[in-house]
Amino acid sequence: MTTYLLGIDLGGTNIKIGCFDTALKLIGKISVPTDAEMGPDFIVDKFYCASEELLKQNDLSLADVCAVGIGSPGSVNLTEGVVAAAPNLPLFKNVPLKEMASRRLGKPAILENDANAACWAEHIIGAGKGSDHMILLTLGTGIGGGIITDGRLIHGPSGGAAELGHLIIYPDGRLCGCGQNGCVEAYASANSTAARATETVRGGVRSSLETPLKEHGKITCKDVFQHAGHGDAVAKEVVEGTAKALALLCVQLANVTDPESIVFAGGMIAAGDALLGPIRRFYKQTIGHVFNKGSLEICFAALGEDAGIIGAASLALTACR
């Protein structure tokens, strides 16, 4: 009896896959590198291989799966099931991902923007449960967004709404992968946080971050937060810059949609209060007082890094009915 769902969260760095029952109880999950430079066909084959491995680990097979939900970064045409473009997946240009995944896995597939999928998960069973007005921001390789107003996801006519990581906060600022200058993603994603730290250290500023750069050839976002916690001045300044950029984004969103909450999800929330605290501080310093937006709840996702796979699985559930 086909009573299980697969939820796939396609990221620029990793592919996360969860197996769920039809009550959205997590049975098991797996994560594999995306290898984005290998292109769509290779990635879809990874969907298949990783899904088979996950199911095998839980004494299941694809025969037990009724449908697959996929959350993909970038602009997603929901009607056609096509990823039009994804800044962190440069080879994804008008890719019919829904059809490709369905054919490879042999199951009905549902395609949604990854941040929208995570937003929906938080809305139905997570931090936004009971709220018809919320925004979710996913912090990872890039920054994704989802907006729920009046209990409904905002998509726009082409499916390209809520690309919140590409709101410009610093005109003529850093070049973003989308081609614009000054996007919040160019300052506050995991990749850009690491990049800003790397540029500073390579520019000759003394920092304890020189150690991971020398030993591993790179500085990661995790390194930045760890070294900031140990008091390194460069790391602390980079963290402050990331938090300020996200706070500026929150201010803009509060004034546009008047949400009850803005929820952060994705790998970066592992930083905990070292990230959330300064976001809240900068937000309160920046937001005006006239429209009573100072009490907006800014919090982390209740579902943690699983929000994407849960949301994708919940969407897949519609294909089983």
pLDDT band, very low/low/confident/very high, at 1 (cuts 50, 70, 90): low
The residues, ordered by sequence, that sit 6+ positions from 178 with a Cβ below 8 Å of its Cβ are 87, 163, 166, 185
- The C-alpha angle with vertex 124 and arms to 119 and 128, in degrees rounded to 5, equals 65
Q: How far apart are CA 101 and CA 44, in angstroms?
A: 6
Query: Domain limits of the chain?
Result: 4-119+306-320, 131-301
Q: At what angle do helices 233-257 and 221-229 cross, to 10 degrees?
A: 110
CA atoms within 13 A on the CB side of 55: 22
Q: Give yes or no on whether 4-119+306-320 and 131-301 have one common fold.
A: yes
Greatest CA separation for the chain: 62
Give tens-digit pLDDT for 82-93.
Answer: 999 888 898 999
Domain spanning 131-301, CATH class: alpha beta
Residue-wise burial string across 97-116, b where 16 or more C-beta atoms lie within 10 A, e elsewhere: bbebbbebbebbbbbbbbbb
Give tens-digit pLDDT for 59-76.
Answer: 999 999 999 999 998 889
The amino acid occupying position 195 is: A
Give tens-digit pLDDT for 43-59.
Answer: 999 999 999 999 999 99
Question: What is the model's pTM?
Answer: 0.85
- What average pLDDT does the chain have? 94
CATH number of the domain located at residue range(s) 4-119+306-320 in this protein: 3.30.420.40
Strands (E), 160-242: none
pLDDT band, very low/low/confident/very high, at 294 (cuts 50, 70, 90): confident
Q: How far apart are CA 250 and CA 255, in angstroms?
A: 9
